[in-house]
Amino acid sequence: MPVLAFIIVLSFAFYIFYKVQYVRSRRPMEKKWLSAKSSMALGLFVGFFGLNTLFIQQTTVSYIVAAFFLLIGFSSLWAGFKAYRHFLPYAQREAEELKNQ
């Protein structure tokens, strides 16, 4: 499925993008916020990779591997989203404090 392949490539590109921003950042809360965003992108990558595996091969082993990838990917997405919501106000406050100095 070309749509799933596009989403897989796009989510991996966002993962790389956020990891580069993470490395370049010097602010501690912004680093944690960017790490959460990259975790969400990686979770989407792994989850949609597992979903794509379901459509490509229809064997018992591929169903087990796809279920594992879906579970790990979307749980990483959920944990990243929770961390994103947690660190967002701190990152905003940190940016405002540095802007006012």
Q: What's the mean pLDDT in 12-33?
A: 94
Dihedral (Cα; 34, 18, 11, 6), 10-degree rounding: 150
Contact 9, 42 (CB under 8 A): no
% of the chain surpassing 70 pLDDT: 100
pLDDT tens for 30-52 read: 999 999 999 999 999 999 999 99
Region of 87 on the Ramachandran plot (φ > 0 left; ψ -120 to 50 alpha; else beta): alpha
Grouping H, G, I as helix, E, B as strand and the rest as coil, residue 82 is helix
The angle that helices 28-56 and 2-24 make with each other, rounded to 10 degrees, is: 160
pTM of the model: 0.88
Q: What's the mean pLDDT in 53-60?
A: 88
Distance, in Å, from the CA atom of 70 to the CA atom of 16, rounded to the nearest integer, reads 20
For the chain, give every domain's residue range: 1-98
Q: What's the mean pLDDT in 67-94?
A: 94
